A = this chain, B = another copy of it.
Amino acid sequence: MSGPSTSRISKVVITPVAFADPPLLNVVGVHQPWALRAIVELHTDTGLLGLGETYADETHLARLDAVAQALPGSDPYDTNALRRLVIDVLGKETGGAGASFGGMLDVSSAVDTVYSPFEVACLDLVAREAGRPVSDLLGGAVRDRVPFSGYLFYKWAGHPGLPADDWGEALTPEQIVTQARRMVDGWGFGSLKLKGGVLPPEDECAAIEALRDAFPDLPLRLDPNGAWTPETSVRVAERLAGVVEYLEDPTPGIEGMAQVAARTDVPLATNMCVIAFEHLRPAIAADAVQIVLSDHHLWGGLRRSALLGGITDTFGMGLSMHSNSHLGVSLAAMVQLAAATPNLTYACDTHYPWKTYSGRAQDVVRPGVLDFDDGAIKVPTSPGLGVELDRDLLGELHEQYLSCGVRRREDTVYMRSIEPGFTPNTSRW
Point out residues on A near B: beta carbons under 8 Å: 1-5, 75, 77-81, 84, 126, 128-133, 136-137, 139-142, 277, 280-281, 284-285, 303-304, 307, 310-311, 313-316, 340, 342, 381-383
> Given A281-B316, A310-B307: A140 and B77 within 8 A (CB)?
yes
15 examples of A-B residue contacts, CB within 8 angstroms: A2-B131, A2-B383, A3-B382, A3-B383, A4-B132, A4-B136, A75-B140, A79-B139, A81-B142, A139-B303, A281-B315, A304-B310, A307-B310, A311-B311, A311-B314
Distance from A130 Cβ to chain B, minimum over Cβ atoms (Å): 6
A311: B residues at CB distance < 8 A: 307, 310-311, 314
Distance from A286 Cβ to chain B, minimum over Cβ atoms (Å): 11
Can you add 13 more A-B contacts, CB < 8 Å, to A3-B131, A5-B132?
A: A1-B382, A1-B383, A2-B131, A2-B383, A4-B383, A77-B136, A78-B139, A80-B139, A80-B140, A81-B140, A126-B130, A280-B315, A307-B314
Q: Which of A79, A130, A140 has the most CB of B within 10 A?
A: A140
A136 to B, closest residue via Cβ? B77
Contact indicator B314/A281 (Cβ below 8 Å): yes
A277: B residues at CB distance < 8 A: 313-314
A77: B residues at CB distance < 8 A: 132, 136, 140
A277 to B, closest residue via Cβ? B314
Contact indicator B78/A136 (Cβ below 8 Å): yes
A382: B residues at CB distance < 8 A: 1, 3-4
Contact indicator A130/B5 (Cβ below 8 Å): yes
A129 to B, closest residue via Cβ? B130
Distance from A138 Cβ to chain B, minimum over Cβ atoms (Å): 8
Contact indicator A142/B80 (Cβ below 8 Å): yes
Contact indicator B131/A130 (Cβ below 8 Å): no
A307: B residues at CB distance < 8 A: 307, 310-311, 314
A315 to B, closest residue via Cβ? B281
Contact indicator B131/A4 (Cβ below 8 Å): yes
A133: B residues at CB distance < 8 A: 4
Measured CA separation A2–B384 after assembly (Å): 11
Measured CA separation A287–B126 after assembly (Å): 40
Measured CA separation A5–B78 after assembly (Å): 22
A316 to B, closest residue via Cβ? B281
Measured CA separation A197–B376 after assembly (Å): 57
Measured CA separation A78–B140 after assembly (Å): 4
Distance from A299 Cβ to chain B, minimum over Cβ atoms (Å): 11
A137: B residues at CB distance < 8 A: 137
A280: B residues at CB distance < 8 A: 314-315
Measured CA separation A298–B92 after assembly (Å): 40
Measured CA separation A284–B316 after assembly (Å): 13
A383: B residues at CB distance < 8 A: 1-4
Distance from A213 Cβ to chain B, minimum over Cβ atoms (Å): 39
Measured CA separation A5–B136 after assembly (Å): 11
